[in-house]
């Protein structure tokens, strides 16, 4: 049986922390689906298609990875993909409460699908898409937080 895990998120933009989790998850599962959320209450800097394209480009060299977009309820999408698990990243204790609620809701909606949590490598533990966007918007150097293609896309969004 092929073991499939879904790593959902807005990835606005994808960071080196996200990439770290993807690489580690591909060592544990046959297939990792990085699923870019199209329906989110978050206000995105990048369009849905731009986020999918950036993720596809920066992760193109990783075997066992599929990048796709999805809309609607994550639990339904995971069932459609025959996933056995959902991957979520925990950077700090402050992430835990929200992720715990989300995991319990997903368990209620799709009890056959587990939620798994990974922490990023310590050099990425403080990085968030929101912080990266803030630093970029203020003209700061973001090259140590994101792939060069993402840095370029952010520079295009926030010209000096």
For the chain, give the percent of residues with pLDDT over 90.
Answer: 87
Question: What does the pLDDT look like over 29-62, one tens digit per residue?
Answer: 999 999 999 987 778 999 999 999 999 999 999 9
Are the C-beta atoms of residues 127 and 145 closer than 8 Å to each other?
Answer: yes
The one catalytic residue among 18, 51, 88, 133: 18
Q: CATH number for the domain including 76?
A: 3.40.50.620
Helix (H) or strand (E) holding 18: helix 16-26
Active site annotation includes 129: yes
Out of 7-21, 51-65, 90-104, least confident range: 90-104
pLDDT score, position 87: 97
- Residues 84-100 have a mean pLDDT of 88
Catalytic pick from 51, 128, 129, 133? 129
Half-sphere exposure of 157 (CA within 13 A, CB side): 21
Catalytic option among 23, 24, 44, 91: 91
Closest by alpha carbon to 78, among 51, 50, 43, 105?
A: 105
Look-up of token digits 């912080």: 131
Q: How far is Cα 119 from Cα 108, in angstroms, rounded to an integer?
A: 24
CA nearest neighbour of 30 among 11, 2, 7? 2
44 is catalytic: no
Task: Give me the residues paired with residue 31 across strands.
Answer: 4
Q: Please check the confidence at residue 1 and state whether its pLDDT lies above 90.
A: no
155 domain-assigned: no
* Catalytic-role residue among 3, 40, 42, 130: 42
d(CA 95, CA 72): 23
pLDDT tens for 111-149 read: 999 999 999 999 999 999 999 999 999 999 999 999 999
Q: What is the mean pLDDT of residues 84-94?
A: 89
Backbone phi, then psi, for 2, in 5-degree steps? Answer: -80, 125
Tokens of 51: 């986020």
Tell me, yes or no, if 18 is annotated catalytic: yes
Give the count of domains, the chain.
Answer: 1
Q: Which residue has the higher pLDDT, 25 or 160?
A: 25
Whether residue 110 is contained in a domain is answered as yes
At 101, is the pLDDT very low, low, confident or very high (cuts 50, 70, 90)?
A: very high
Structural domain including 80 reads 4-124
pLDDT for residue 93:
76
Among the ranges given (73-82, 92-101, 132-141), the one the predictor scored with the smallest mean pLDDT? 92-101
Q: Is 147 a catalytic residue?
A: no
User: What pTM did the predictor assign?
Assistant: 0.94
Q: What percent of the chain has pLDDT over 70?
A: 99
């Amino acid at each position: 049986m092929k073991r499939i895990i879904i790593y959902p998120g807005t990835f606005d933009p994808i960071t080196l922390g996200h990439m770290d989790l993807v690489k580690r998850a591909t060592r544990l599962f046959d297939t990792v689906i990085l699923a870019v959320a199209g329906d989110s209450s978050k206000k995105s800097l990048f369009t849905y298609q731009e986020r999918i394209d950036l993720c596809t480009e920066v992760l193109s060299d990783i075997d066992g990875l599929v990048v796709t977009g999805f809309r609607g309820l994550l639990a339904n999408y995971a069932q459609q993909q025959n996933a056995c698990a959902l991957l979520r990243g925990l950077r700090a204790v402050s992430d835990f409460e929200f992720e715990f609620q989300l995991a319990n809701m997903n368990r209620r909606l799709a009890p056959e699908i587990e939620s798994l949590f990974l922490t990023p490598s310590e050099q990425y533990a403080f990085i968030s898409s929101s912080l990266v966007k803030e630093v970029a918007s203020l003209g700061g150097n973001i090259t140590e937080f994101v792939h060069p293609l993402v840095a370029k896309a952010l520079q295009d969004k926030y010209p000096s």
